[in-house]
Amino acid sequence: MPLPTIEVPKYKVKIPSTGKMITYRPFLVKEEKVLLQALETGEGEEQLLEAIFQLLDNCIETKNVNPRELTNFDMEYLFLQLRAKSVGETAELQFTCSNKECRKPIQYECNLSDLKVKKHKGHTNKIEFTENLGMIMKYPSLHSAVKISSRNNTDELFSLIAGCIESIYTEDEVFSDKDHELEEFEDFIEQLSPEYFKKIMNFFETMPSMENEIKLTCPFCKGEDSVTIRGIEDFFG
């Protein structure tokens, strides 16, 4: 007689960057094991990201959703929602009191369901150079975002930026990324003035992010404090 199978609940959540509703299930022990192994080896961020990608890939049941194509804030938000449904709605975090005369550790119970994607003021995917010339941008995947932020290689940076152009428009025409090669967009970027290029970089610098500010009261000195939780790194201390 075969062993019994355990029915796993299903949940729905929106992908922040697109608003697309997807279905997912909590991760199982076998999947948590992969994540724990990545943490135990301590071989770096890349291995941890691969473990998270694998976990998301297994647990997202909606078809045609590739975790590796998600934006940074999409991935972090979905992972924390998944973690909340898998191991509990709260996580114990530890901070240090900012009072120089105290500096004692503060325990904080964070409700994961309360964490949101922060939309930065003035951010838009429409970049206007003149009244008759501009761009419509799309968000980079997580891997692309990491490379853009590092800016180690100028050629690679320009290639990645060009890959985030959805279209270029003039008063009379729209030039879509579906109809033009990446190299054409790279050439276009190189012809821009530094002032126009700065507008493009502002799109990346003000992208939505998983930044959540929390208020703390130190139980020792009774001082008020404010701490910003950024991404998922604070949950792997």
The parts of the chain modelled with pLDDT lower than 50 are 237
Helices 45-59, 72-87: inter-axial angle, 10-degree rounding? 70
Q: Which helix (H) or strand (E) holds 144?
A: helix 142-150
Nearest to 229 by CA among 215, 209, 212, 207: 212
Q: Which amino acid is at 236?
A: F
Q: What is the Cα–Cα distance from 57 to 7, expressed in whole angstroms?
A: 19
Asked if 136 contacts 166 with a C-beta cutoff of 8 angstroms, the reply is yes
pLDDT at 192: 95
pLDDT at 31: 87
Q: E strands of the chain, at which residues? A: 11-14, 21-24, 90-96, 105-111, 126-130, 133-137, 165-170, 174-176, 211-217, 224-230
Q: What is the Cα–Cα distance from 207 to 231, expressed in whole angstroms?
A: 13
pLDDT at 3: 83
Specify the residue for token string 């970027």.
189
Q: How would you classify the pairing of strands 133-137 and 126-130?
A: antiparallel
- pTM confidence score: 0.85
pLDDT in tens, 50-71: 888 999 999 999 999 999 899 9
pLDDT at 149: 56
Share of the chain above pLDDT 90, in %: 65
Nearest to 21 by CA among 61, 58, 80: 61
HSE-up (13 A, CA, CB side) for residue 63: 0
pLDDT at 79: 93
Torsion of CA 204, 206, 207, 213, to 10 degrees: 140
